[in-house]
A and B are shown apart, each in its own frame.
Chain A
Amino acid sequence: MTKMFRKTLLAASVSLAALLAAQGAARAQEATIVFPTNEVGATTYNPIKATMLNTATALIFDRMVSQGADLSYQPWLAESWEEAPDGMAWVFHLKPGVTFHNGEPFNAATVKAWIELFKATEGDNTYMVEAIASVEVVDDATVKFVMSRPEPNLLYNLSSTFMSVVEPKSYAALGDDYGVTEVYGTGPFKLESFAIGQETVLVRNDAYAWGPAVAANKGAPKVAKLTFREIAEDSTAFLELKTGGVDMLLSVPSDLLGEITAEANLAVLTLPGQDVWYMPINVTKAPFDDILVREAAAKAINQDEILASVFGGVGSVADTFLISALPESQVSDSAKIKYDPARAAAALDEAGWAMGPDGVRVKDGQPLKVTLWTQGDSIFRRLTEVVQAQLKAVGIEAEITTFDSSMIRDQYKTGEQQLAVRSYNWDNADIVDWFFGGDRLGYPNVSMFNDPKAEELRTAAMAGAKNMSERVANFTAYHEYVLTQFPMAPIYQPVTSIGYNTERLVLPSPLNAPSFGSVAFIDMEVKE
């Protein structure tokens, strides 16, 4: 009896050990990641309807087109494409053998059904497919978009997460539950569970064999399971990384970079950012209705000093309104707005503002005092104080007014601002139209810029191009003209810093993608 008991105990121990080992191995194939703080609180994985999508969306779904690190368009579910010379039609050749997570095939009929679904859905993303008049199935692997007008931005839209290809049948069947309880894409990972505000668990799509052109691994991801956690507080996320509770933070604020690099098993990966920090100048408010004063204020901003003192040298200076990866940012050198205190002083002299005894310039007995708006977040306040000091150095006294970040947009709508410090996050040149379009005064056009020549160039940029190269040329011209009118001063381009555990993860390097998304997660490895 005793012998038998021992045998049973031994067998049980062996099985338990095997089970634990198996669990250990399984754990080794798993990674836990913290979403960037600005992605916390996404409520659905329905790309057609959502107003906000997180990084996991890009892993559940594939898109027709991918983007390389240089923002060039590369094949994905569309292997190749042709655009009609007049821009009125696009033909896409689709990758064969692609299936959705629920087994449905991906083909020309799916693309047609998806675009029609997109156009019929009441939502705020439909503008992305507005220019597509109809979709024709040429054959199983070829689809033709008939356009109502040329849309040279189509490839950008097709590479956006909002244009993730959804499985049309389940989309129609699930209604509001699509993207919450169930979701089917063709992506490298499948949704296992989603708890709003808490976590999303994804498991590997073993059938995946159609990775984007820019990924090194075209097959199934190396990691079996990904848990994405939502942590809004940076210090908490850092403590989780430090204690091994999570393996990676998708955004690390600059003040925690030192804490991460100080740990032996942690490292930081930096990628180009998609943000630009800038100082809008209200062109309608005196003294900034004088272009010379605007030029002086813009050229008083010492971007290098700000990069070093406020952002610890992480990132790069901005001298145009667009992120430098965009071809439209390549304006002529003379149009770039750079720190030039001598020119700032000369412009103010020319405008009649003479230096007063207290270091503040004076004209007709009036001191050069202006308001400088900012928002409550500490980084904005720190930056704004440095901007204030730099303006003072050329004789402009700026008084800072701080607004709550959720209310400042409404303040801008009053048009009372003179100068402000703000930032945007976007990777397409149409942001120039958004912030300087004459019919969006107040907000988003904080600069209240409404210039006839700019409007002409804007129309050409937004609607006058038949193809991509024409669009780039038109937007570059529009962007360049706007810069020469000084409705803002570019300041800084941050990078995206990703903190990770080097004992657990091997990240792809170099990463041929504009951000840490599907390409990175397909190629990422977990150390055994």
Chain B
Amino acid sequence: MLAYAIRRSLMLVPVFLAVSVIIFLILHFIPGDPIDNLLKVGSSPTARAEIEARYGLDKPLPVQYLIWLGNVLTGDLGTAIVARRPVIDLIGQALPHSLALGGLALAFSSIVGITLGVIAALNRDRWPDRAIMGGVLVGSTMPSFWLGLMMMLAFSVWLGWFPVSGARGWSSLVLPVLTIGLGGTALVTRITRVSMIEVAQKDFVTLLHAKGLSPLRIQLRHVLRHALIPVVTILALRIGWILGGAVTVEVVFARPGLGTLLIKALAQHDYPVVQASLLMLAMAVMIGTLLGDLLQAAMDPRVRAALA
């Protein structure tokens, strides 16, 4: 298992390098550059060339890439061209907000989603199943922008339970977490339900029934354990999404975060910020995938056996 973990981790190195090249190239091929945001009315027409030289943007792309990669590997993410702050500071300010929001939303959707999925599977084709799956359909089709504003209207404007927006204290986290969490809940519920139903039809479950174990015990002790393997994989893959996937909700609820930082930097073509943020998101996805694989191996003896 340890050998597998090490082997699997080493595979991330070429992936990291490939991702870094793609991130760098995509960004430089998008029309526009940060200089337009720096030039001010009244500055001389030669100012553009001076600024380009100052930030090394006049160097050939491969040289720019190697300088950037070298700095990143030594832990230097550079200084934002437009935002004028060390990139590490900007990310350091945004990251805790993203982690709190995304982490809680993931926890919410996991707990509620798995619970609802189990209830739906246990009551397959009966009214609780239909009600839950109906709710899930509605939940997964509602755009988060709209859902966020509706939540705000209901719980802040009419009921006055939570603040409308902002990032002050736990109460300001409730509505954004619910807004993101409900979308994720729909996915987790569906996968749990389908997986439970599939596993329940396996031979070993029939054997357990034949042995006379109580149906509820079979479902919760044995079926759920097997059914959770794909659910865990999906949840692990969503770790990357947690960090940067909440842009609309961050904007609606006026919360800082990595997604908002990235979008703002993209609009300004602030290369160092975009590159560092994208790299962080890509690494989160890679680590999530690795975690998913390792968890799968840990949970499923067949996977372990195949690796041995």
Contacts and interface: CB of A to CB of B under 8 A. Distances in A.
Interface residues of B, number: 51
A233 B40 contact: no
Contact of A443 (B36, B164, B254): B36
Contact of B156 (A49, A51, A235, A243): A243
A109 interface: no
Given A197-B261, A231-B165, A240-B164, A430 B156 contact: no
A287 interface: no
B51 A124 contact: yes
A41 B273 CA distance: 13
Greatest chain A CB density within 10 A among B51, B149, B256 is at B256
Interface string A418-454: 0000000010101100100101100100000000000
Interface of A is mostly: loop
A312 to B, nearest CB: 23
Interface stretch (A9-17, A342-350, A403-411, A512-520): A403-411
A245 B31 contact: no
Contacts of B256: 195-198, 230
B160 A243 contact: yes
Contacts of B89: 180
Given A229-B166, A236-B152, A243-B160, A180 B85 contact: yes
B47 A406 contact: no
A316 interface: no
B149 A235 contact: yes
A232 interface: yes
A236 B44 contact: no
Contacts of B261: 197
Contacts of A199: 166
A230 B83 CA distance: 16
B85 A439 contact: no
B275 interface: no
Nearest to A432: B41
A40 to B, nearest CB: 8
Contact of A124 (B33, B39, B85, B255): B39
A428 B31 CA distance: 29
10 contacts: A41-B83, A43-B84, A125-B40, A128-B42, A195-B256, A196-B85, A197-B93, A243-B157, A406-B266, A434-B42
Interface of A: 41, 43-44, 46, 49-52, 122, 124-125, 127-128, 153, 176, 180, 195-199, 229-233, 235-237, 239-240, 242-243, 245, 405-407, 409-411, 426, 428, 430-431, 434, 437, 439-440, 443
Interface of B: 30-33, 36-45, 47, 51, 54, 80, 82-86, 89-90, 93-94, 149, 152-153, 156-157, 160, 163-167, 251-256, 260-261, 264, 266-269
Given A196-B90, A407-B30, 14 more contacts: A43-B84, A44-B85, A50-B84, A124-B43, A127-B44, A180-B89, A196-B85, A197-B94, A229-B254, A233-B251, A235-B252, A239-B156, A242-B157, A409-B32
